[in-house]
Amino acid sequence: MEWKGIRRLFNTMIRSYYFPTKLRLRALRLMGVKAGRGEIRAGVVISGPNLTLGTGVFVNAGTSLLNQGGIVLEDHVAIAPEALLLTTGHEIGPTRRRQGKLIREPISVGAGSWIGTRAVVLPGVTIGPGCVIAAGALVSRDCSPNGLYVGIPAKRVRDLPG
């Protein structure tokens, strides 16, 4: 089955609250996602197979992983409810249509990082290991390891122990 059909299956049946949580990662692996042991809660949207999940990854309900450009979540990454990781955007086009050519850029989240509720991570961003991205933050640039990032756009406000 091609990914379009698989995506439809995942985003209807497998992401359902009635589908057993313990089977969700197993189903994703069958669809081509590289995944260690972890937990993907119900209601998570995944838009393609270009996803790598390390061991101990936790993705909470309502999160969207729009991963056409590729997303890597290293070991023990935790993502709170309703976060949004976007790997696609558009170039700015001419006046007649500002939404220009589609661009795809990967997202990488380092081991042990925590992304807060309703945080948004934009295409091409690398979040270093041990970071905390505060709830509601908009991450548009790379984040150095072991930092607390808050705001719109997200800025490092504190160093965290390494």
Q: Please give the positions annotated as active site.
A: 90
Reported as half-sphere exposure (CB side, CA atoms, 13 A), residue 147 has a value of 16
Strands 78-79 and 57-59: parallel
Cβ partners under 8 Å of residue 29, min gap 6: 35
Q: Within 10 A of 142 (CB to CB), how many other CB atoms are there? A: 11
Task: Calculate the dihedral angle through the C-alpha atoms of 68, 127, 121, 11, rounding to the nearest 10 degrees.
Answer: 50
C-beta separation of 93 from 100 below 8 A:
yes
List, in order, residues 6 or more apart from 130 with CB less than 8 Å away.
110, 111, 112, 113, 145, 146, 147, 160, 162
